[in-house]
Structures are given as structure tokens and as C-alpha cells.
Amino acid sequence: MFLNSRYSRQILFPPIGESGQRALKQKHVLIIGAGALGSSNAEVLVRAGVGKVTIVDRDYVDWSNLQRQQLYEEADVVNQLPKAIAAKQRLTAINADVHVEAYVLDATVEELTRLMEDVDLVIDATDNFDTRLLVNDLSMKYCVPWIYGACVGSYGLSYVIVPGETPCLSCLLESIPLGGMTCDTVGIISPAVQMVVAHQTTEALKILTSNTEALSRKLVSFDLWKNEFSRLDVQRCKNSNCASCGENPTYPFLAEENQTKSTVLCGRDTVQMRLPNKDVDLEHYAHALREQATVTANPYLLSFMIEEYRLVLFKDGRVLIHGTKDITKAKTLYHRFFG
């Protein structure tokens, strides 16, 4: 059936074969983030023939993205296209048989809970631990495996989290330092991204084709520049008292009081704020703001400059304040123009 198809070389790989290819066609993968990791993960899975890929991202394409985020091009920057929309356009051109859904929104509990339905796997392509811990709790609650991934500088790491079998992210954070540096402080090189993606997508293919006996049960880390590679056995980190995956879970990061309303974005002098309204009338704001600034807009967002700051309003009520990491300053600008 598939031997003369576009997937013939993948089918010739014995662990996948024709049955694995059929299985891929029936699977749904949710990718949180459409930056460097997310866009590359999405491309590999779409080319592999996964039946449905859902992409969630809150940002739009910026010049600094083009160095490592391979789905995007200069026209996307000029047109201020949201990453999720630009990714969907490119992925559909790559493989029209794959159903790609794109959501330009923040990864909140409410939104992700709605999107978790019928998902077989979640891939982490985020840039902050607030979202990762939220994804971790949703994964545990709905028994959906997820694949953690992170990279900065020439360093990267990846780990497969299977509910009921492996330590979850909350377990790991009690024993292993996973954060610290950011691409804002030490930069990043594209090969580090691709190495993390290679680990994430390989493990994804194992899960999606039911080759779970081949899964890596260790935390993989590397530094390409220093020629270092390690595999750490973290099974001992599994905690029966963990609030996220233990015997009596409470899923603390799904609680309202543990959700961040303002966020400093990784690698950018940018703070994200949220409007209470989830469906913003962009034309209304564009008309009001044109008396104070030059406004550019498309169906997904509007942006304008005030002094050295650039503000971007999305339809889902998010505002990005570029030019500062100071949340207090960002809140002042936010309330100045959006109440």
C-alpha cells in the first residue's frame, strides 16, 4: 500500500514498516510553541506523515528568529505573521495530506485543556518553566506522554515523560537543575536546536508507532561546542508524594493562583500581558490608537510605537510590550493604552 509512496524510505526501516506508517496516519500530536524547536519538530512530523499536528504559539515572526527557525522567511517578518500561521502555511505546502491546525494564543490552562482532547503526544517547544509545569500537570491528569526539550548556547537536553512510568518534570526539578541560562544571556546556535529536535522526534516516532520498548529512559544532554554528551538515569527521582504524578496528585500548576499573568519572554526585551477579553476587536483599538501613534495591522494583530517601546495586540487579548523586561514599566504602558 505504502511501498511506492512518499514514505517508502521510512517504511523500509524495520521498526516502522507499513503497520507503523498506518499508525502514524491515525495519530495527533500537540506542539506547544512554534519557535526553533517547535517549527523543526513540526516539519519532521509532517514529513513523516503524522495524521494531525496542532501548533500553539503566542508570538509572531521576528528578524532574530530567521537564524534558527527554519520554517520562516523574510516575508513573514515583513508581514508580521504569527508563527503558528506561517508554520501552517509552510507545513501544508510540504505535505497537504497532514491536517495542520494552528492557534495564535497563549498556552493557558483553559486553552490547553480544550486542545488536549484526542491528543496522543505533546511536544514541549516552549521557552519558560511556567508553561512546562502546566503541560506537565495536564499530561499527568489526562495520561498523555510528553517530550521535554530545551536548548541554549551550544547546549541542549531532552527527556521523555510517560505518566505512571517515569518521573515527571516536577520530580526532576526537585533533584536536577534544568534552568538558568537563556538565549538572551548566552545566545544560541542552530545545530543545538537540531540536535534536540533529533532526540525529540525520534522518541516521538517510537511512541506514535508503539515501539515504546525502544524509548530512552534517560535524560539526554549535550554540549556540541565542547563535544560533550551524557545520558543520566533519573528513574530514582520519581517521587510517590509528588503533587503532579504521585499517589494522590493535586495538579498544583493547574490552579489559578499558580498561573502567571505577566511573562518576560525568552531572548527578547519583551513582556507579555493579557487583556480580560479573549476576543478583541482589533479595528476598535486601531481606530483609537491612530490618534496617538502610527498603527500597522493585519487580521491577527496590530502594532504601534510609543517612544522606544513597541506594543503588539493580538486578537486573543495578549499584549507584547517590546523594549523592556521591567514588568512594572510594562504594566504602566499596558494600562495606559488598554485600561
The single-letter code of the amino acid at 126 is T
Q: Where are the beta strands (DSSP E) in the chain?
A: 28-32, 52-57, 99-104, 121-124, 146-152, 155-161, 218-223, 228-233, 263-264, 270-274, 295-297, 301-306, 309-314, 318-322
State the angle between helix axes of 190-208 and 36-48 in degrees (0 to 180), rounded to the nearest 10: 40
- Per the residue annotation, which of 151, 168, 171, 183 is the catalytic one? 183
156 pairs with which residues across the strands?
A: 151, 222
The residue to which cell 480580560 is assigned: 276
DSSP state of 188: B
Q: Which residues contact 140 (CB under 8 A, 6 or more apart)?
A: 163, 168, 244, 245, 249, 251
Question: How far, CA to CA in Å, does 40 sit from each of 32, 47, 63, 151, 157?
Answer: 12, 11, 17, 13, 15
Q: Which residues contact 113 (CB under 8 A, 6 or more apart)?
A: 138
Concerning whether 245 is annotated as a catalytic residue, the answer is: no
DSSP state of 3: T
Active site residues: 183
